[in-house]
Structure 1
């Protein structure tokens, strides 16, 4: 397996959107994916990008990615928020997710950020087991709240 982990580029966006839909389907929420390809591309590669990503590529095919943005905590300062990490089904359990996650951790360190945070669904046992190898703190106290545009 000739794996390359590299920063995402604009031309990767169509494949990233395919993987986003695959993740949404796995999380039983495909109907919630509303982002358009133009909005997604502009948000990552326009004049004021708000997200960055690493892709995992094998023989020129993107098989996974990790997408993040920088958020600000009034208590902690700038922190990296891992929005999504996905490896397509047939390439899971091959160490690709680990390499993507570690690329994100490396970015946080290079940017001198004060930490990394993310969310994981409580029923997603494979993801929880994966993250456990990094000894994270799982916070059961905070509840995620959202208000959608609609």
Structure 2
């Protein structure tokens, strides 16, 4: 049985392991510079900047959804799904759907007008999953970032 619950500070080591597993899957393991200490401060310090929920089976975390809040001048408050991760051995069993649905529910309960996220253009399993929700995938916007 899979339980979905709010993530706690004690769950962060498992969350970081899932993040590393995702980075390996996305062929970008060398780009993970986040640390447990950073996650503790950023998620549970004086001014938390992210939230997360976990999927747990037999007292083991097998998946998570990490999110934060953003503001769109066109749409208002939005929930941003930073990562939806299910450990490889548990994929295809509906755990991602449970996490995704709960993340949507969190956004709705907080008065958000919608949810945003990114998906790699080669990640067909994820793209097909999101299409089941009739998600809009925009091709005309380019993702930009600066590293400090």
Q: TM class, shorter-chain normalised?
A: over 0.9
Alpha-carbon offset, residue 57 of structure 1: 0.2
Unpaired runs of 5+ residues, structure 1, are: none
2:32 is matched with 33
2:75 is matched with 76
Matches within 5 A, 1:116-131: 116-131=115-130
Q: TM-score, normalised by structure 2?
A: 0.99
Aligned length: 148
1:48 is matched with 47
Q: TM-score, normalised by structure 1?
A: 0.97
CA distance in 1, matches of 2:139, 2:71: 21
1:94 is matched with 93
What per-residue deviation string (whole Å, max 9, x for no partner) do you get for residues 105-135 of structure 1? Answer: 0001101101101000000000000001100
Bigger mean CA offset, 44-53 vs 54-63? 44-53
Residue 102 of structure 2 is aligned to residue 103 of structure 1: yes
CA distance in 2, matches of 1:135, 1:7: 26
Unpaired runs of 5+ residues, structure 2, are: none
Moved over 6 A (4+): none
1:60 is matched with 59
Alpha-carbon offset, residue 74 of structure 1: 1.0
CA RMSD of aligned residues (A): 0.5
